[in-house]
Amino acid sequence: MENIYAAMLLHKAGKAIDEASVTKVLEAAGVTVDGIQIKALVASLSEVNIDEAIKAAPTLAAAAPVAAPAAGESKPVAAAEDKKKAAEDEKAKEEAALEGLGALFG
């Protein structure tokens, strides 16, 4: 994941995404560098228009907080159901985001 973050940082800065640049970013962040992973990432991104991939990726919206019940109201069952639904919604959003990241690799 750190490799992708390094590539995204380089892209945002308008720098070339090559093995040397990604390695420098990771080393500056104190991350262990795996040359094979970096080589694979650079090769995968060479044919991808990152700006288009970002535009096509679904956005992650913050989950709406569950409102606390009014004073005197007691609905532990409803609150538990709301939390479960919120967790399911969050998981669905994460899965959609991961599918969007898959587009980066082909």
* CATH number of the domain bearing residue 19: 1.10.10.1410
Backbone torsions φ then ψ of 72, nearest 5 degrees: 95, -20
Please tell me whether the overall predicted TM-score, pTM, comes out greater than 0.85 for this model.
no
Residues 103 and 73 in one domain: yes
Query: What domain range is 1 assigned to?
Result: 1-47
Q: How many domains does the chain have?
A: 2
Residues 33 and 79 in one domain: no
Last residue of a domain, one of 47, 66, 85: 47
pLDDT (0 to 100) of residue 85 = 81
Helical H runs in the chain?
2-12, 19-28, 35-45, 50-56, 76-102
Residues 6+ apart with CB under 8 A from 69: 75, 79
> Which residues, given as ranges, of the chain have pLDDT below 50?
62-64
Residues 60 and 43 in one domain: no
Residues 60 and 100 in one domain: yes
Chain segment 20-30, per-residue pLDDT in tens: 999 999 999 99
